[in-house]
Structure 1
Amino acid sequence: MHRPTSDVEARDVEAPDVEARGVEAFETRAADADLDDLRARLAAARLPEAETVQGAAPGPHRWEQGVPLADLVDVVTYWRTEYDWLAFEERLDRIGQFRTTIDGLGIHFLHRRSARADATPLILTHGWPGSVAEFVDVAEELADPKDADAPAFHVVIPSLPGFGHSDKPATTGWGTEKIAAAWVELMERLGYSRFVAHGGDWGGVVTTLLGGRFPEQVLGIHTTFAESPPGLTTDGLTTAERRWTEENRHFWLHRAAYAKQQATRPQTIGYSLVDSPVGLLAWTLDKFAEWSDTEDSPFETMSRDRILDNVTLYWLTRTGASAARIYYESHNALDPELRVDVPSAITTYPRDIERCPRAWARERYRQIVRWRTPAFGGHFPSLEVPGYFVRDLREGVAAVLAATR
Structure 2
Amino acid sequence: MALREFRPTVDPAAMEDLRTRLSMTRWPDQITNAGWTYGMDTDVLRAFVDRWRNGYDWTAEQARLQSVRHVLVDVDGFAVHVVHERSAHRGPAMPVVLLHGWPGSFVQFLPLIPLLTAPADPADAFDVVAMSLPGFGFGDRPTEPGMDVARIADLVGSVMTQLGYDRFAGRGSDLGAGVLQQLALRQPDRLVALHLSGTNPYLGDVPPDLSEAEQRFVAAAQQWNQAEMAYAMEHSSKPQTLAHALNDSPAGLASWILEKFHRWSDGGLAAYSRDELLTNLTVYWATGTIGSSMRLYYETVRSSHAAWGRVEVPTGMAMSDRDMFPTPREWVERSYRVVHWTDLPRGGHFLEWEAPDLIAEDMRGFFRSYR
Is the pair's TM-score, using the shorter chain for normalization, greater than 0.5? yes
Q: 1:102 to 1:198 in 2, by over 3 A?
A: same
Aligned residue number for residue 350 of structure 1: 321
Choose from 116, 120, 129 the match for 1:142.
116
RMSD: 2.0
Choose from 338, 349, 358 the match for 1:379.
349
Please state whether the residue corresponding to 1:63 is helix, strand or coil: coil
* 1:338 Cα deviation from its structure 2 partner: 2.2
Q: Tell me the distance in 1 between the aligned counterparts of 2:176 and 2:25.
A: 33
* 1:306 Cα deviation from its structure 2 partner: 1.2
Kept in 1: contact 2:198–2:320 (CA 8 A):
no
Kept in 2: contact 1:126–1:201 (CA 8 A):
yes
Q: Tell me the distance in 2 between the aligned counterparts of 1:216 and 1:284.
A: 36
1:120 pairs with 2:90: no
Choose from 359, 365, 371 the match for 2:330.
359
Where do 1:61-210 residues align within 5 Å?
A: 62-116=35-89, 117-145=91-119, 147-148=120-121, 151-210=124-183
Q: 356-365 or 327-336, which moves further after superposition? A: 327-336
Q: Tell me the distance in 1 between the aligned counterparts of 2:99 and 2:293.
A: 14
* 1:353 Cα deviation from its structure 2 partner: 2.8
Per-residue CA deviation, residues 219-245 of structure 1 (Å, 9 max, x unaligned), is 110111365984243645244x43222
Q: Tell me the distance in 2 between the aligned counterparts of 1:336 and 1:218.
A: 16
Q: Tell me the distance in 1 between the aligned counterparts of 2:349 and 2:338.
A: 21
Where in structure 1 are there 5+ consecutive unaligned residues? 1-20, 57-61
Q: Tell me the distance in 2 between the aligned counterparts of 1:234 and 1:324.
A: 33
Per-residue CA deviation, residues 263-312 of structure 1 (Å, 9 max, x unaligned), is 11110100111100000000000100011112xxx332111111111110
Aligned residue number for residue 32 of structure 1: 12
Aligned residue number for residue 217 of structure 1: 190
Where in structure 2 are there 5+ consecutive unaligned residues? none
Aligned residue number for residue 11 of structure 1: none
Choose from 217, 230, 251 the match for 2:224.
251
Please state whether the residue corresponding to 2:169 is helix, strand or coil: strand
Q: Tell me the distance in 2 between the aligned counterparts of 1:180 and 1:272.
A: 30
Aligned residue number for residue 33 of structure 2: 55
Kept in 2: contact 1:197–1:210 (CA 8 A):
no
TM superposition score normalised by structure 2: 0.94
* 1:381 Cα deviation from its structure 2 partner: 1.0
Please state whether the residue corresponding to 1:108 is helix, strand or coil: strand
Aligned residue number for residue 17 of structure 1: none
Q: Tell me the distance in 2 between the aligned counterparts of 1:332 and 1:244.
A: 26
TM superposition score normalised by structure 1: 0.86
Greater strand percent: which structure?
2
Kept in 2: contact 1:226–1:346 (CA 8 A):
no
Aligned residue number for residue 233 of structure 1: 207
Sequence identity of aligned pairs in percent? 35
Per-residue CA deviation, residues 14-37 of structure 1 (Å, 9 max, x unaligned), is xxxxxxx51010123211111111
Kept in 2: contact 1:177–1:206 (CA 8 A):
yes
Q: 1:336 to 1:233 in 2, by over 3 A?
A: farther
